[in-house]
A and B are shown apart, each in its own frame.
Chain A
Amino acid sequence: MNLNKLTIKKAHQGLLKKKFSAVELTEAVLNQIKRRDKDIHAYLFLTEELSLSQAKRIDKKIANKEKIGLLAGIPMAVKDIILIEGIRCTAGSKILENYIAPYDATVIKKLKQAGAIIVGKTNLDEFGMGSSTENSAFGPTKNPHDLERVPGGSSGGSAAALASDQCIYALGADTGGSIRQPASLCGIVGLKPTYGRISRYGLIAFASSLDQIGPMARKVEDVQIVFELIKGKDGMDSTSLNPPLEKTKVKFQIKDLKIGLPKEYFIKGIDPAVEKTIRRAISQYEKMGAQVMEVSLPHTEYALAAYYIIQPAEASANLARYDGIKYGLSKKASDLLGVYLQTRQHGFGDEVRRRIMLGTYTLSAGYYEAYYLKAQKVRTLIKEDFIKAFEKVDVLMTPVTPTLAFKLGEKIDDPVAMYLSDIYTASLNLAGLPGISIPCGQVGKLPVGLQIIGQQFDDEKILKIAQEYEDRSV
């Protein structure tokens, strides 16, 4: 039995029945990392000591016949943009290369209380800025399905770790597709919850009106278990909230479900093989009795442009804090301005500087109304498009990203081509909606992901819909 491939429930049962110990389970994962990760580079670094001490504690509890929760003793990975007290947190950037987190993120606090075993921190595009993990200052991650291809990004490390059985589940973060797109390209499950459902306290800020932490795993059931534990309003994040109660009590049958296909998402630009795979998956739902109809999201063509105004603008403000004074890289210079200029020139990579420059420009005097304000108005139109579509249907189904995993280096010199990877995902962040990527087939050896989109707070509902597909496709 390969312990590192187990689902959360199977691993939990194994622990309870003493088929194996939490230490053995953790060692199985660590051994797989040692075998596989030199080729894949999903992890930036391991927290081996922390994980084994956590595992021993759980084994002691089991030996003492104390009650343990579902996640106790289960090894997991954390995107290296979420703080774990006393552990390095780099955000994939030279500027935070030696930064030691002074406190636990709320999600980490909850996971630790549940007895989770943290085995390491996973690679990402610097500060989450990218769609391929090639923008990491510490080298790219490879797609386990084809080592010449990217795993997607920015949570590419977490997705690749899962696809190569180097953890049982993982945390990611999604600003414009950073959980869903790598989940799709690596053939795993990734949930971008409704904005605010999971506290972001201890998540290094990128674009605050869009950022959301979410769970990633090989099975929908595992994603659901982790979401259940880490969700909820938190006093430390004033944007976090609990949904209206009726939203979380999901009662429906697939045969009563109305699925909308936004016609603007199935147009030129999508790889025909990807489209075929997506349509086949949707027809599965039809076979289960769901009704499928075309809907329109007329402002789709403006979504990505609005996203690439709002997100860099917020990033330019958030990343102003890296000044070489309070923490992180600090370059020597003769005066204060020199410290800023040197530190930020050498600490940030190209993509981060591109976005900070763009955001600084669009927020600068004379341009704010033409760009930022205009984009926030377009954001209203995009939100209204979704509201109107949801008057006709219960959920939307779309591709996650227009292509299969692309080759390393293929898009790195063309920022706009790279940005198009987010074309089906960024709208959800703009509108605050939940979306899940589930594996729905392969083209050759490369996976394709189906995106299921719900209304705000329909997280539980889209999880259930995803589960029904998974149950039938095994």
Chain B
Amino acid sequence: MESAFEIMKFKKEQIEHVAKLARFGLSDKEKRRFQKELSAILDFVEKLKQAKTEKVEPIAQITGLENVSRPDRGRAKTKQERKKLLDLVPQTKDGYVKVKAVL
């Protein structure tokens, strides 16, 4: 049992890996704190492993809806709607969202 818990506990490299996946910057102090807190939370959810779930189907949609669809038609935005959305964008150029070069 002891070893199973050890495996689950977050290591520093794991914290760094997950933070990178989640696109967070983290200070060293934050890394140590998150390591401790997330390990405690993982210990808590560890209980789940005891539940017997062979032959149990996972929930897909809780009220049983399936394949809710609508006609695939877009709606042109009005000028005012466009303006409202573009006003929220940190940086724009010629009515487009400006993004830093990816490559």
Give the interface of A toward B (CB within 8 A).
99-100, 102-103, 194-196, 209, 235, 238-239, 241, 299, 301-302, 305-306, 308-309, 316, 320, 323-328, 330, 335-337, 339-342, 344-345, 348, 353-354, 356-358, 360-361, 364, 370-371, 373-381, 383, 415-416, 419, 430-432, 456
Q: Nearest chain-A residue to B14 (Cβ)?
A: A361
Complex interface bits, B87-103 against A, C-beta within 8 A gives 1, otherwise 0: 11111000001011110
**Contact flag A354-B37 (CB < 8 Å), given A341-B24, A344-B25:** yes
Q: Nearest chain-A residue to B99 (Cβ)?
A: A325
The reply to whether B58 and A383 contact each other, CB–CB distance below 8 Å, is: no
The reply to whether the CB of B2 lies closer than 8 angstroms to some CB of chain A is: no
The reply to whether B62 and A381 contact each other, CB–CB distance below 8 Å, is: no
Q: Which residues of A contact B10 (CB under 8 A)?
A: 361
The reply to whether A301 and B25 contact each other, CB–CB distance below 8 Å, is: no
Q: Which residues of A contact B3 (CB under 8 A)?
A: none
Give the interface of B toward A (CB within 8 A).
10, 14-15, 18-19, 21-26, 34, 37-38, 40-42, 44-51, 53, 56-59, 61-63, 65, 68, 70, 81, 84-85, 87-91, 97, 99-102
- In the assembled complex, the Cα of A348 lies from the Cα of B30 at a distance in Å of 13
The reply to whether A302 and B51 contact each other, CB–CB distance below 8 Å, is: yes
- Of the listed residues A306, A358, A375, A376, the one surrounded by the most CB atoms of chain B closer than 10 A to its CB is A358
Provide 18 A-B residue pairs closer than 8 Å at the C-beta atoms, listed in order of the A residue: A100-B88, A195-B62, A196-B63, A209-B62, A239-B61, A301-B47, A308-B41, A327-B88, A327-B89, A327-B90, A339-B100, A353-B22, A356-B22, A358-B41, A360-B18, A375-B48, A380-B59, A419-B41
The A interface, classified by DSSP as helix, strand, loop or mixed, is: helix
- In the assembled complex, the Cα of A426 lies from the Cα of B93 at a distance in Å of 45
The reply to whether A360 and B22 contact each other, CB–CB distance below 8 Å, is: yes
The reply to whether A364 and B18 contact each other, CB–CB distance below 8 Å, is: yes
Q: Nearest chain-A residue to B55 (Cβ)?
A: A377
The reply to whether A325 and B68 contact each other, CB–CB distance below 8 Å, is: no
The reply to whether B47 and A336 contact each other, CB–CB distance below 8 Å, is: no
Q: Nearest chain-B residue to A361 (Cβ)?
A: B18
- In the assembled complex, the Cα of A339 lies from the Cα of B100 at a distance in Å of 9
The reply to whether B97 and A341 contact each other, CB–CB distance below 8 Å, is: no
**Contact flag A100-B23 (CB < 8 Å), given A194-B63, A432-B63:** no
- In the assembled complex, the Cα of A195 lies from the Cα of B64 at a distance in Å of 11
**Contact flag A376-B24 (CB < 8 Å), given A305-B48, A330-B91, A358-B41:** no
The reply to whether B44 and A340 contact each other, CB–CB distance below 8 Å, is: no
**Contact flag A381-B22 (CB < 8 Å), given A326-B97, A361-B38:** no
The reply to whether B45 and A305 contact each other, CB–CB distance below 8 Å, is: yes
The reply to whether A102 and B81 contact each other, CB–CB distance below 8 Å, is: yes
Q: Which residues of A contact B45 (CB under 8 A)?
A: 305, 308-309, 371
Q: Which residues of B contact A364 (CB under 8 A)?
A: 18, 21
- In the assembled complex, the Cα of A432 lies from the Cα of B62 at a distance in Å of 6
Q: Which residues of A contact B18 (CB under 8 A)?
A: 357, 360-361, 364
Identify which of A241, A379, A419 contacts B44 (C-beta below 8 A). Answer: A419
Q: How far is the CB of A292 from chain B (nearest CB, A)?
A: 28
Q: How far is the CB of A349 from chain B (nearest CB, A)?
A: 12
Q: Which residues of B contact A302 (CB under 8 A)?
A: 47-48, 50-51
- In the assembled complex, the Cα of A306 lies from the Cα of B87 at a distance in Å of 40
- In the assembled complex, the Cα of A358 lies from the Cα of B43 at a distance in Å of 12
Q: How far is the CB of A90 from chain B (nearest CB, A)?
A: 13
Q: How far is the CB of B32 from chain A (nearest CB, A)?
A: 13
